A and B are shown apart, each in its own frame.
Chain A
């Protein structure tokens, strides 16, 4: 009984995850590589022949490279602000966390109301006399401004997650370390560089990788803001499946996303597991 019982409790979760994760994974690989008559690379040729795919790959990687580091810096800054115990700290904390529960799609729509041609930002620019008719932020020819809007929307939506992880990390650092450094005359920047950041290391690592994995899955933000004018990888899965009705190519895109995330996930597992092993 002793040996069997934990597995009895674990069994349902294992069955469910294998059935809904392992099985579709096999199916997905199969459907991406098989056509009407056996093995084929036709779906992949079709995918790589599609101009949207390479743009989507480029956009996704660009988005990650820009958004994730900025988010980490912002989140550390926000956590330090919280640590300084400002007035109305709990009110600020609440508002900074609200985006945690906001969906990607809603975030995209929120920023649409601002970046739309007749939106709030252009209204502000025109009424201040800074621009004649406003800037066409979401015009399909302006890849740079589209990237900017998606980056801002993603920063708004997902910085909270990094923030919460960093706050948890900061809370685990004993205050004495910082106070000791202060007593010995370290400036704010010295304390940040030599005390806080090194101790935050593990939290930052996890936040970085987790955010990278999540940013890989972003698509509804761009969909809401620009439609398909600013394609992202997972958005292409959606397009191929829902709009173009081609499950095989959709599976191929899904596999590309999976492979990229798998690389990141292995990194994630190594960083998460190591500190536990060290304890």
Chain B
């Protein structure tokens, strides 16, 4: 450094002082950004930490007031009591079943429609898309009230099947939109090449397009599962004893103890942490672009 400045001094020219203001401003800005990020993260994460701590406190620690940040006594009795409460385990089973069936049916019904939208140009395509968007935009769950009456008449009321039907309808528009965007991303050339080599249209779709679309379809399935896992109103209205987990927690809320509520809330959140971790790569594309 010093050797480089010397010739300038020797020449009698003094260098202007280095202006550090922009650098400082930049550093200050970065610090602000960092602080703001941490603030938002605290807002998002702290409540989850708190309910987690409540869920693993003992009953006595929960009743304490003022409550310390870390519970005075850890115990799994709160969570255990929640899972041993009547209806929790069957409801958990129902939730998983409904979720899996919903994923299956919405793919079976929705993926072909998505494929048609992605590959064909046909008359009425526009009206179909408007129809899909309209169904997506309307709160169809409020229609579960008349649906429940229909289900009673058709003798499917209070079954896993009934909830699956409601959730499939709910998930169908999003499945069609997502699968359409996935199939668009699979190059047509590959499909045509398969047909040139003697595949029928159906074989080309099954052996070339589906394997290539598989990661996207998997992500779309998780999305559907989350939708079904979190849906409350429809599941509560069309069932009586075969509740899904959120419906069970909601209807038990009136008589529930605080411990049950906190444990229930925590149990409902745990899968969300996993879902988002798995889906992270697809989040912006799926929720942000395709589904808007």
Q: Cβ of A27 and Cβ of B146 under 8 Å apart?
A: yes
> Quick check: which of B85-93, B191-199, B246-254 contacts chain A, the rest being far away?
B246-254
In the complex, the answer to whether B237 meets A110 with C-beta atoms within 8 Å is no
Closest A residue, CB atoms, query B111: A9
Q: Does residue A46 face the partner (Cβ distance < 8 Å to B)? A: no
Number of interface residues of A (CB under 8 A): 101
Contact for B138 among A168, A250, A262, CB less than 8 A? A262
> B120 an interface residue at 8 Å Cβ cutoff?
yes
Which residues of A have CB within 8 Å of B109?
12-13, 16
Is B130 a contact partner of A95 (Cβ separation < 8 A)?
A: no
Given contacts A98-B276, A109-B264, contact A13 B172 (CB under 8 A): yes
> Bound state CA distance, A101 and B257, in angstroms?
25
Which residues on the A side are within 8 Å of B40 (C-beta)?
78, 81, 92, 96
- Minimum C-beta distance from A148 to chain B (A): 15
Question: Which A residue's beta carbon lies closest to that of B143?
Answer: A24
CA–CA, A93 to B40, complex, Å?
Answer: 10
Residue A269 contacts which of B133, B144, B249, B251 (CB distance < 8 angstroms)? B133
Residue total for B at the interface (Cβ-Cβ under 8 A): 96
**Beta-carbon nearest neighbor of A28 in chain B:** B146
B139-187 with Cβ < 8 A to chain A: 139-150, 165-166, 168-169, 172-173, 176
Whether A100 pairs with B287 at a CB distance below 8 angstroms is yes
Contact of B112 among A9, A21, A171, A268 (CB under 8 A): A9
Chain A, residue nearest B240 (CB): A242
Query: In the assembled complex, which residues on chain B have CB atoms less than 8 Å from the CB atom of A123?
Result: 65-68
Residue of A nearest to B286 (CB): A164
Q: Mark B115-139, 1 if CB is under 8 A from A, else 0.
A: 1100010101100101101110111
CA distance A67 to B102 in the complex (A): 31
Which of B2-10, B12-20, B208-216, B226-234 faces chain A?
Answer: B226-234
Q: Are A105 and B250 in contact (CB under 8 A)?
A: yes
Residues of A236-263 contacting chain B, CB below 8 A: 237-238, 241-242, 247, 250-251, 253-254, 257-258, 261-262
- Which residues in window 1-41 of A have CB below 8 A to B? 3, 5-7, 9-10, 12-14, 16-17, 20-21, 23-25, 27-28, 31
Question: Knowing A3-B122, A103-B229, A262-B138 touch, does A96 contact B44 (C-beta < 8 A)?
Answer: yes
Q: Does A63 contact B (CB under 8 A)?
A: no
Q: Hey, which chain B residues are within 8 Å of A199, CB to CB? A: none
A238 B237 Cβ-Cβ under 8 A:
yes
**Which stretch in A47-55, A137-145, A175-183, A209-217 binds the other chain?**
A209-217
Q: A interface vs B, CB < 8 Å?
A: 3, 5-7, 9-10, 12-14, 16-17, 20-21, 23-25, 27-28, 31, 77-78, 81, 84, 86-88, 90-106, 108-114, 116, 118-120, 122-124, 126-127, 156, 160-161, 164-169, 171, 203, 206-207, 210, 213, 216-217, 219-220, 223-224, 227, 234, 237-238, 241-242, 247, 250-251, 253-254, 257-258, 261-262, 264-265, 268-269, 272-273
Chain A to chain B: the 9 pairs with minimum beta-carbon distance, closest first = A109-B265, A168-B288, A103-B230, A101-B272, A265-B137, A123-B66, A254-B142, A106-B268, A9-B116
Known: A120-B50, A126-B65, A262-B138. 9 other contacts (CB 8 A): A9-B113, A78-B40, A99-B44, A101-B276, A102-B230, A165-B292, A203-B292, A220-B246, A268-B137
9 residue pairs A–B, Cβ–Cβ below 8 Å: A7-B116, A12-B109, A92-B41, A98-B45, A99-B272, A101-B230, A224-B261, A247-B145, A261-B137
